[in-house]
Structure 1
């Protein structure tokens, strides 16, 4: 089984065998998906079709558009309050 060593900068070199199997090339982007016993590494491709299902299982339930709007409004109000307190 191929192995890799982590450098002091937090970098690893992915073995050629793995890069070939995943179809990786210079500049490729990887997604790390946490699972119960570790992480799954998936290459991300530039096509939007490849994003389908990428976030499946990462949240307990889907968030509605109304809930998103409420969260955005609350964050905007919080930022506005913080900015007004910071100004003399």
Structure 2
């Protein structure tokens, strides 16, 4: 199992096998996503939303009707604030 050691500056050199498997190159960015059980997942930031889909746990999901209502309520509040200026 690949391992790494953190320096006193908090830096870690990722093992080559891990870099290769994740498709990371110099300058690549990674996200550290905290999972519900307290562990972290390392997710490469490649610019594709599909790479992080499912990485963040969802407590519950909203229906389209619920989302429409939230957007509508926000628009009404914004309009009321604008009129009170």
TM-score by length of 2: 0.59
Structure 1 residue 56 displacement after superposition: 4.0
Change (3 A) 1:11 1:43: same
CA contact (8 A) 1:5 1:13 kept: yes
For the pair 1:2 / 2:2, whether they are aligned, the reply is yes
Structure 1: which 5+ runs fail to align? 74-88
- State the partner residue of 2:45: 44
Residues 16-74 of structure 1: CA deviation (Å, up to 9, x unaligned): 00000000001001011111141110101134x446636742677789452xx87xx8x
**Runs of 5+ unmatched residues, structure 2:** none
TM-score by length of 1: 0.58
Q: Distance in 1 between matches of 2:51 and 2:60?
A: 19
Q: Which has the higher contact order (CA 8 A, sep 6+)?
A: 2
